[in-house]
Amino acid sequence: MIIIAIACLLAGGAIGMTLAPAPEADDGTAMILLRLQSEISASLEMLDNELAAVAYDLGSTGLDNQAARKILLQTNRIHPAIIDCTTVSPDGVILAAEPPEYHRAEGKEVSDQPSTMQILESKRPVMSGYGLVAEDLDAVFISAPVFAQGGIASEPPGRFLGFSSVVFRPDLLIGEAVEPIVSGTRYSITVVDTDGLVLYDTDPDQIGLPLDDPVYTAYPVLVEFVTRVTEERQGRGSYIFRDQTKEAVWTTVSLHGTEWRVAVTRTL
């Protein structure tokens, strides 16, 4: 089964433009990529599952009281990548944010954020892209709808009460999965979103950089390569960056329709 999976990953490189001749990827690269895909996906699913349980509990407590805040505080402790946890009203206003250092986000209108608009319309879980959030920093959030469970006075069971979110730093979430796998190896790891923005990189100075940053635009072949990565869910190729030729194999992890590209790179 593993051999088949590796073959599928490498086959993706045959699709799309050829930027530079690339030698065959070694099995070590593909094996590491499969492990990373599994571990990063598991980390996202863990947050998503915890949030689903939180949303269920909030259906009995309501979204803006001490019982709700206790639930948010407990959720905040499940992973060091989490910045805060929030509840949001059906009209897109943050009702509660915990821990206390993020109370400043309460009362902010977030209905103009694409992911907020999506969950308010669909009443289904979402994961946002990376960008500025109400806490005045760049992050990603996962949101789950909250429906009344019958324990709230005057709220009929099943009524949409709003939603709850976990706001987190993707670099910390990804880093926890990456570091045990690649530590001491010759490989480097990059994770980008489908706009080419760097969510994680073995070189921390590159985290948060967009594809049009001067660090990258000085290398047109690199920009072409990353553009290809954003358009194809898996593949293989090579590029030149800082006078070094590098080979990368990449694949995709996703949650609620939001995709991240995970690439394992080695210097040739």
Rounded to whole angstroms, what are the CA distances from 140 to 70, 118, 193, 219, 234?
22, 15, 11, 28, 23
Tell me the pLDDT tens digit for each residue of 203-251: 999 999 999 999 999 999 999 999 999 999 999 999 999 888 999 999 9
**Which CATH code for domain 47-169?**
3.30.450.20
pLDDT interval class at 27 (50, 70, 90): low
Mean pLDDT throughout 71-81? 96
Cα–Cα distance between 221 and 201 in angstroms, integer?
19
Q: Judge if 2-42+172-267 and 47-169 fold alike in CATH terms.
A: yes
Highest CATH level, class, for 2-42+172-267: alpha beta
Cα–Cα distance between 254 and 261 in angstroms, integer?
9
Mean pLDDT throughout 168-190? 93
Q: What are the start-end ranges of the H helices in the chain?
A: 2-11, 27-61, 66-76, 114-122, 170-182, 214-217, 220-231
For residue 154, pLDDT beyond 80 = no
115 token code pair: 């992911």
Mean pLDDT throughout 72-89? 97
Mean pLDDT throughout 53-64? 95
pTM for this predicted structure: 0.87
Structural domain boundaries in the chain: 2-42+172-267, 47-169
Mean pLDDT throughout 134-147? 97
